[in-house]
């Protein structure tokens, strides 16, 4: 779906999330959201905060699982995705802290393997993701599933692509400060979500959006695996859709 601006597209996506939360509330069920970081979802989060404040929509029946976190990374570090999510969403809504799940970037190397399995188990234990929000990196990554990621990959640690680290360098004040690794949900984890929405804004995303949607399904462009998912929508602005 192509919108004339990121704002318009974000409002539409936030409304879909609101309707899902309200539908689950009316049935007395929890709503399980998979959330993303980066600049792409910021306007969706702004709109969700507005919906919470102005429409009095509660998030107390919402459970969230974030896609990824840098590794190693302390949660209180301003570069952490933990910090990002609290700053841009969680501090402004009434979600219960116990229902917030973000991969822990401060566990030891020895704990990593079991921790990743337990993250996956926690998602399964609440019935899986009802809705997964995604951005896309210039390498075609979703979460931090870099080129080479397997279609059935699960939550794991991963080495970041050089392009991804270059893109993150500005906010880290130089590439040397960007972690080399991350923990990410896998492509398989994402693909199990009942509904997926990928946001793409701006002309910098145009070429990877074209490859993702019109190119071959390949581990070289991990987001292309979304072609195999039956309930995915790409929400784009005109610039990101300009090469389609």
Whether 220 sits among the annotated catalytic residues: the reply is no
Out of 105, 137, 140, 186, which residue is the one contacting ligand GLP (CB under 6 A)? 137
Out of 65, 71, 131, 144, which residue is the one contacting ligand GLP (CB under 6 A)? 144
Q: Are 167 and 138 in contact (CB under 8 A)?
A: yes
Question: Where does 45-145 show beta strands of DSSP type E?
Answer: 62-66, 68-71, 100-101, 131-134
Q: What is the DSSP letter of 161?
A: P
- Beta carbon nearer to ligand GLP, 61 or 191: 191
* Contact mark string toward ligand GLP, 79..118, x via CB under 6 A: ----------------------------------------
Give Cβ neighbours of residue 204 (< 8 Å, ≥ 6 apart). Answer: 138
Does 226 engage in binding with ligand GLP (CB under 6 A)? no
Q: How far is the CB of 201 from ligand GLP (least distance, A)?
A: 8
Give the integer Cα–Cα distance in Å for 16 and 232. Answer: 13
Out of 32, 85, 136, 178, which residue is the one contacting ligand GLP (CB under 6 A)? 136
Q: Are strands 2-3 and 232-237 parallel, antiparallel or unpaired?
A: parallel
Q: Are 183 and 71 in contact (CB under 8 A)?
A: yes
Give the integer Cα–Cα distance in Å for 119 and 117. Answer: 5
Q: Are 232 and 194 in contact (CB under 8 A)?
A: no
* Contact mark string toward ligand GLP, 147..186, x via CB under 6 A: -----------------x----------------------
Q: Active site residue: 47, 69, 146, 239, which one?
A: 146
Structure tokens given for 117: 């399995």
Residues 36-55 that bind ligand GLP (CB under 6 A): 36-40
Annotated catalytic residues are 146
Binding site for ligand GLP (CB under 6 A): 36-40, 67-68, 135-137, 143-144, 164
């Amino acid at each position: 779906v192509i919108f004339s601006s990121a704002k318009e597209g974000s409002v539409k996506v936030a409304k879909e999330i609101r309707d899902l939360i309200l539908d689950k509330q009316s049935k007395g069920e929890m709503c399980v959201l998979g959330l993303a970081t980066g600049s792409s979802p910021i306007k969706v989060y702004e709109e969700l905060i507005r919906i919470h404040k102005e429409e009095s929509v509660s998030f107390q029946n919402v459970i969230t699982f974030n896609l990824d976190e840098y590794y190693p990374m302390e949660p209180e570090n301003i570069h952490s995705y933990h910090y990002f999510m609290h700053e841009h969403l969680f501090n402004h809504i009434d979600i219960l802290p116990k229902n917030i799940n973000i991969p822990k970037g401060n566990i030891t190397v020895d704990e990593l393997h079991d921790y990743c399995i337990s993250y996956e188990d926690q998602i399964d234990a609440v019935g899986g993701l009802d809705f997964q929000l995604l951005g896309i990196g210039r390498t075609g990554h979703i979460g931090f599933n870099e080129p080479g990621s397997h279609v059935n990959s699960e939550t794991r640690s991963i080495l970041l692509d050089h392009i991804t680290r270059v893109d993150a360098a500005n906010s880290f004040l130089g590439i040397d400060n960007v972690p080399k690794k991350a923990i990410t949900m896998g492509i398989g984890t994402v693909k199990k979500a009942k509904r997926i929405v990928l946001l793409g804004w701006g002309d910098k995303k145009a070429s990877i959006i074209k490859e993702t949607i019109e190119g071959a399904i390949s581990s070289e462009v991990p987001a292309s695996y979304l072609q195999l998912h039956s309930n995915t929508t790409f929400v784009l602005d005109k610039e990101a859709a300009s090469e389609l």
